[in-house]
A and B are shown apart, each in its own frame.
Chain A
Amino acid sequence: MQAPLLRFFQALRDAGVRVSVAESIDAFNAVAVTGFADREALKDALGLVLAKTLPEKALFAECFDLFFARDALELGDAEAAPPPAQSADGEASALGRMLLEGDGGALAAAMEQAANVAGISGISFFTQANVYGRRILAEMGLEALDREIDALRRQATPAASARADVLDRRRKLLGEGVRDFVKRQLAVYAAGKTQAMREEFLSSVKLTNLDRSDFQRMHAIVRTLAKRLATRHARTRRRARRGQLDLRRTLRQNMATDGMLFRTSWKRQKIERPKVMAICDVSGSVAAVARFLLLFLYSMHEVMAGLRAFAFSDRLVEVSDILERNDIEPAIAAILREVGYGSSDYGGSLENFESGWLDLVDHQTSVIIMGDGRGNYTNPRTDILEALSKRCKRLIWLNPEPDALWGSGDSDMLRYRPYCHYAGVCNSVRHLERAMTDLLES
Chain B
Amino acid sequence: MNKEVLIRLNGISKAYDGETVLDHIDLEIHDKEFMTLLGPSGCGKTTTLRMIGGFETPDEGDVFFDGKRFNDVPPYQRQVNTVFQRYALFPHLNVFDNIAFGLRIQKRPDAEIKTKVKDMLALVNLKGFERRKVSTLSGGQQQRVAIARALINQPKVLLLDEPLAALDLKLRKDMQNELKNIQHQTGITFIYVTHDQEEALSMSDTVVVMAHGQIQQIGTPTDIYNEPINAFVADFIGESNIVDGIMLDDYRVKLAGHIFDCVDKGFGKNEPVDVVIRPEDVDVVATEKGMLRGLVTAVTFKGVHYEIIVDVKGFKWMIQTTDFVAEGETIGLSIDPDAFHIMKKSEFSGMFGDYSSFSDELEKLSDVTEEIEEE
Do A and B belong to a common assembly? no
